[in-house]
Amino acid sequence: MCSGISLWDRPALLAWREGLRVQGHALVFTNGCFDILHVGHVRLLATAASLGSRLLVAVNSDESVRRLKGSGRPVVPLAERAETLAALRCVDRVAAFDEDTPLELISLLNPDVLVKGGDWSPDRVVGRDVVEARGGRVVIIPLVAGRSSTRLVEILRALG
Amino acid 1: pLDDT: 37
Q: Where do the structural domains in the chain lie, given as residue ranges? A: 10-159
- pLDDT tens sequence across 65-104: 999 999 989 999 999 999 999 999 999 999 999 999 999 9
In this structure, whether the domain defined by 10-159 belongs to CATH 3.40.50.620 is answered with: yes
Q: How far is CA 47 from CA 4, 80, 87, 143, in A?
A: 24, 23, 16, 11
Whole-angstrom distance, CA of residue 156 vs CA of residue 130: 39
- Residue 20: alpha-carbon gap to chain centroid: 18
What phi, psi does 84 have (nearest 5°)? -65, -45
Whole-angstrom distance, CA of residue 73 vs CA of residue 69: 6
Q: pTM of this prediction?
A: 0.90
What phi, psi does 55 have (nearest 5°)? -115, 125
Whole-angstrom distance, CA of residue 15 vs CA of residue 11: 6
Is the model more confident about 45 or about 2?
Answer: 45
Beta bridge pairs of residue 57: 30, 94
Whole-angstrom distance, CA of residue 67 vs CA of residue 62: 9
